[in-house]
Amino acid sequence: MARLLGMAVFFWQLNALMHAISAKTTSLPFMLDKLGTGSTNRGDGLRQKGTETTFAEQTCMTADEATAAVNRFSQLLQFRTVSSPIVPDHVIEPSEFQRLHHWMPGAYPEVWDMMTVEEVGSSNFSFLLKWEGTEDAADISARSSSHYPPSIPLLPVLFLSHLDVVPVANETLSNWTYGPFSGAVEEGYVWGRGALD
C-alpha cells in the first residue's frame, strides 16, 4: 500500500514523470533546470526526438491530471508481473508482461513519442528509455544568466524502477485488505502488490 502523499516511491516518481510528459505539464521542479530554452516546433511545449526544445513552461498538475496519474498507477498495479528466481527467465506469467508492454505506450503516448524505448533483459521484458538532450552554444549562454555557472556541464539523470513484484503466498491472501492485484484506490491509499517498494 502507498499513501498518496509525497513522491517517495521510485515508481510513483516515474509514473508522475511519465504522466507529466503525457499531460504536457510537470509538477516536478527538477525538470525545469534545463527545460524551457528555445522554441518548439510542435506548438505544445514539448520536444520531439531530435529537436532542440524540451519544455516551454512549467505548470502544476490540475486535480484532473493528478486523478489521471493515480488511475494510471492503479492500472499498473493490476498487472500480475510476478518474478521468481526458481522459474526460467524469472518470469512466472510472460503474458502479463506482454500485456503490460502493450498497455504502456497507450498510457504514456508522449513518453513513447519523445523517448527511445528499447526492450532489454533475458526475456525483453524490461524497458530502457532514453530521453536525448541537447546543449548548444545558445543553451550555454542562457545558463550563464541563470543560477548555473556556464562552466558546469549539464549531466545525465538516471531514473531506475522495476515492473516486477514478488509472488503472493496463497496463505496470506486473507491478510490483504484489498486484493494484491486490485490496484484499489481507497481510504487515501493505492492498494496492491508493488505499490510501495
Q: Which residue has the cell 499498473?
A: 76
In angstroms, what CA-CA distances link 87 with 94, 95, 167, 182? Answer: 11, 15, 12, 24
pLDDT above 70 coverage of the chain, percent = 59
Residue 153, burial from CB neighbour count under 10 angstroms (0-12, 13-18, 19+): exposed
* Segment among 77-81, 109-113, 176-180 with least mean pLDDT: 109-113
pLDDT level of residue 156 (50, 70, 90 thresholds): confident
- 81, 164 contact by CB (below 8 A): yes
| Helix 10-22 × helix 63-77 angle, to 10° | 130
- 178, 186 contact by CB (below 8 A): yes
Average pLDDT over residues 100-124: 91
Residue 149: predicted pLDDT: 59
CA pair distance 46, 21, nearest whole angstrom: 8
Polymer length in residues for the chain: 197
Q: Which residue has the cell 531514473?
A: 159
Q: Which residues of 166-187 are buried (b: 16+ CB within 10 A; e: fewer)?
A: eebeeeeeeebebebbbbbbee
Q: Which residue has the cell 528499447?
A: 118
Position 74 pLDDT exceeds 80: yes
Average pLDDT over residues 109-136: 86
Q: What is the DSSP letter of 18?
A: H
Nearest CA to 85 out of 162, 166, 172, 163 is that of: 166
Global pTM reads 0.64
Strand partners, 130: 116
Residue 176: predicted pLDDT: 95
* Segment among 34-38, 106-110, 120-124, 127-131 with least mean pLDDT: 34-38
* Segment among 70-84, 93-107, 121-135 with least mean pLDDT: 121-135
The domains of the chain are located at: 2-190
Residue 155: predicted pLDDT: 72
Position 9 pLDDT exceeds 90: no
pLDDT level of residue 161 (50, 70, 90 thresholds): confident
pLDDT per residue as tens digits for the range 46-72: 444 555 544 445 567 888 998 999 999
